[in-house]
Structure 1
Amino acid sequence: MYRRLFFASLSLLLLGACNAATDTGEPRAYQVEVVTDELRHPWSMAFLPNGDVLITEKAGRLRIFRDGELLPEPVSGLPPIHPTGQGGLLDLALHPDFETNRWLYFSYVANHEGDATTHVARGRYRDGKLSDVEVLFIAEPAGHTGRHFGSRLVFDKDSYLYITVGDRGNQPRAQDLSDHAGGTHRLHDDGRVPDNNPFVNHPDAKPSFYTYGNRNAQGMTMHPETGVIWQVEHGPRGGDELNIIEAGNNYGWPIITYGINYSGTQVGEGITHKEGMEQPVHYWDPSIAPSGLAVYTGNAFPDWQDNFFVGALAHEHLARLVIKDNKVVKEEKLLTERGERIRDVRQGPDGLLWILTDESDGSLLRLKPAK
């Protein structure tokens, strides 16, 4: 209560020059606007054409932020959701033609024959209600664990839908193409498998696979200018990765990795390179536990143009990456003084960065240039 009153009374928190710097080393101050701090473990957000912001809460609520207020009533019409461990109501994505067809896509964890697994569904969203809900994808087989559901959703320029699924805490599953776990899947907007998917004619593979060997990707975005799909995935102790996602690639988990098991033992073959397996564009050691990924193209921060922003659940910060020729040449930690787990980051239609913190009193934040 005291925290909420404190932020409500301030509304805007001006961070000092020590918290950020330009690429030339000159200080830069920016403001953090606390849009709301009344969320419970939010996971994702989507910006609607009318100015509303939809926000998922892991427990299974889809909230509406409208005209400066978090509405008390959640969106109705969601299917049954099974919050367990890292799972619950997770990502959101609008159909590229949302204004016409009103299709809202969402990922969630549901009970499946007594176990839990990642589902992706869509429904027509109007006036706080979902209708015509249909399940498009179920990751099979389901599992007993509450870990590594993946669940990020992204549309590309051709309206293909990309879905991440984690290895469910069972490492070998990420190298098994007959098992949906541990990869990126690509579908048409209605759930059909594209004829040109890389493994569509492989007799032992799930045809929806686009990439495999991914441990647990919880950040994914399409670069708005190049159309390239980028992804961040969790490593174990060390070995978080930033990857460019390309058809048919094997990203190596768990055979190759820059991390080790939590027990301190080696993972897989204990190596970082192997023929036929992709190297990350960048990796983190120690782990930052990346979740959420955005490419900044707005005008509010001119020298952040084309920078990548990654939420960090561990070490509790927002990472700013400067990338040249597909290499990270600079990394800066923002928002460390807040001490909050950053679950998601998006560029809003206002050209500002919007951020969700994964806390029991989670916040929706907005980064603005200092006055």
Structure 2
Amino acid sequence: MDFQLTAEQKLIYNTAREFCEKELIPHEGLLEKTHELPRELELDIRRKAMTIGLHGCNMPESVGGGGLDCVSLTLVEKALSRASLALAECVRRPNNILAACVGDQIGHFLEPVMRGEKRECIAMTEPDAGSDLKGMKTRAVRDGDGWIINGTKHFISNAQIADFVILFAATGQDQTPSGPRKRISCFLVDLSTPGLEVAPGYDHMGHRGFYNNILRFDDVRVGDWQMVGGEGEGFKVVNEWLGPGRLTVAAVCQARAERAFEVAANYAAQRRQFGQPIGKFQGVGFPLADMATDIRLGDLLLMNTAWRVDQNFPTFIEDCAMAKVWCSEMLGRVADQAIQICGGMGVMADLPLERIYRDARVERIWEGTSEIQRHIISRELMRGRRA
């Protein structure tokens, strides 16, 4: 079993890691103080990322992307995610749903994104429909050669700095042996479309410079050409996207856990009490050992899952769920213990730990809660046993 990275993969990781250290991390202090991501900074980072091939590295080469395999992309996510989320996302890795664009969608949505001229957001969650997508109330009703959309979405990441939304809405209902089932369809909708309001979201914990918004659709008209795939294929689109999306969250958590551990371990080696480094006391050294073990396990699970995705293993959905639940919960443990090791300095803004600790909490919620991940894993276990 070969765990070695190829020379190309090492180069990809080192390039992204160097970019993060030079172009992203130095701006973390600004985000923490102002809670804002200056537009000119976002564009400057995006331009620099484009010059070294990081922009769109997750997208297929056929649409102008980097065409990275899942292992290589996971390395990029790990490298960039050592920085604050708002800064890491300035290096655009567009939602891979856009790779399914056809016809006029290509010139209007896909190509401008790949050129760095437009930015997308994605809207699934509603006030009464989070993990239960079948409970979605936003509706698109057929009207001539188009659709009329009404409803509300919330927790929409970065809508206020996006140009269009990848929207999921109910377009009808089918009768199935288990009862009525909504047809969920996917649309690409310009945020400037009449009747569409991008409202401020909620004050939230952590992630300075990252925005959540509320989208309100009031008789918003879109054309047939704006539907991705066929009517009712929304669940198919979601399932193709959610697995890799959850793996991205796992990579983000792994990166931050590694950074928190490095800070704590360095502090334990330098901070002296009672005549020796505090890392030599079991009360500090043993937690460091547990943190290092947790992080190693997370990295093995993360990278093995990425490899399994590349190998088209049929179980990659539950693999991604395992990686997401482990790495997100592991990050919470590591961030908490890192602060404890650093004592009073751990909760000071001089170190990144208090930010990492704040930012960590939501990772167990978005892209599917820990409970949803465990449901996916247990469901697949039973399916494999025909139960």
Normalised by the shorter chain, which TM-score bucket? under 0.3
Going by fraction, where is strand more abundant, 1 or 2? 1
Larger Rg: 2
The structure in which a higher percent of residues are helix is 2
Q: Provide TM-score, normalisation by structure 1.
A: 0.25
TM-score scaled by structure 2? Answer: 0.25
